[in-house]
Amino acid sequence: MKKYQIVEIEGSHQHAGTKATSDIHDIAEELGYKSVYIKMNTTVDSKIAKIKRQFGYYNDFNEAYKIIEKNSIVLLQHPFHNKQLTREKTLIKLKKEKGVKYLSFIHDIEKLRKFRYNNYYEHEFVFMKNIADVIVCHNKVMKEFLINEGIDEQKIIVLEIFDYLQDKRLASPKFEKSITVAGNLDVEKCAYIKDLSKLNGIDIHLYGPNYDEQLNDYSNVHYHGSFPPNEIPNHLNAGFGLVWDGNSIDGCKGDSGQYLKFNNPHKLSLYLSSGLPVVLWNGAAEAGFIKKHYAGICVDSLYDLSKGFELLSEEEYLKIAENVKQLGKKLQNGEYGKKAIAQAEKVLIDEI
């Protein structure tokens, strides 16, 4: 049985978008999935550019139909973010005329994330449910949501955690009662960041774009600049990585904060694959994973951290860090993605 993956790329970029989608692409390629590229020829926002994009998509999907052989497995990464007039027609045609089986790998469910949800993403989600022969989702909580949406439980594979492919040499991080945030620092989108300065006695290390200069007024907040995904792991060498979202440090509130109840944050994978223990909200879907592997501290509120840090010894921290190191090796090598895709393939083969 031949294996392919549809890979959507923009302009001259020869990679599959974000770090998360690019890693799944690389893992699948290692497992024998041949890449079939669908290119966005231009990102210009004009009528002529839109027509040009759709002609490009039309030609690429026609070529994809020719390339993909009968009775193959085709991996799709969801959600599709760009409107394409040819995509759905071609995927349905491949299923009907060539008997392909679709392995759908979920990155986000906008219906759960809410703040980005609209008619386009509603349609995209329904299309995925209808066309997928097997689905890889984030965790058991997301699996339950999909079952309630009418998807057969036998068609759903749980990933557990996203991998983060990199080659950083893992060593014990420095024992430090501090927290690090690596990512978008826009306080409009991640409002909790502006209140981190309220955590008395805890140093806050920030990495990423959109830093608010007003945070310079606080002595416990330290900004270290912004780095690309392949470089940032080298800067994560002390304390804990913070996995948090929403508009409050007293629990993860708001749509983006509540989304942690369902998703596997890629930031969690960044920290763990870099060897850094984490601080995670107790209400997050991945809190059970962190507790199971004893890879960090789970709290209801960041105000609880001071007490937790008071009780934390260097010996205990290094014990946690050793657990993280073992996890990090797996994430660096793509072991969770490989396992999930292999399980999904078995479902498809058994079905055939």
The pair of structure tokens assigned to 234 is 């080298």
Is-contact 177 239, C-beta < 8 A?
A: yes
pLDDT of residue 12 exceeding 60, the answer is no
For residues 325 and 334, what is the distance between their CA atoms, to the nearest angstrom? 14
pLDDT tens for residues 30-58?
Answer: 999 999 998 877 666 778 777 777 877 88
pLDDT of residue 18 exceeding 90, the answer is no
Neighbouring C-alpha atoms within 13 Å toward the C-beta of 231: 7
Q: State which fold the 174-332 domain adopts.
A: Rossmann fold (3.40.50)
Q: Sign of the CA dihedral 322, 324, 330, 336?
A: positive
Q: State which fold the 3-163+334-351 domain adopts.
A: Rossmann fold (3.40.50)
Residue 15: pLDDT band (50, 70, 90) is very low
Query: Which one has a higher pLDDT value, 31 or 15?
Result: 31
Residue 261: pLDDT band (50, 70, 90) is very high
For residues 3 and 75, what is the distance between their CA atoms, to the nearest angstrom? 8
pLDDT tens for residues 149-172?
Answer: 999 999 999 999 999 999 999 989
Instruction: Match 């501090």 to its residue by tokens.
Output: 178
Q: Any idea where the domains of the chain sit in the sequence?
A: 3-163+334-351, 174-332
In this predicted structure, what is the pLDDT of residue 112? 96
pLDDT of residue 329 exceeding 90, the answer is yes
174-332 and 3-163+334-351 share a CATH fold: yes
User: Please, what is the average pLDDT of the chain?
Assistant: 93
In this predicted structure, what is the pLDDT of residue 82? 82
**Distances, alpha carbon 346 to alpha carbons 73, 337, 340, in Å:** 11, 14, 10
pLDDT of residue 13 exceeding 60, the answer is no
Instruction: Match 């989304």 to its residue by tokens.
Output: 259
* DSSP E strands, 46-186: 73-78, 101-106, 134-137, 156-158, 174-182
pTM to 2 decimal places: 0.94
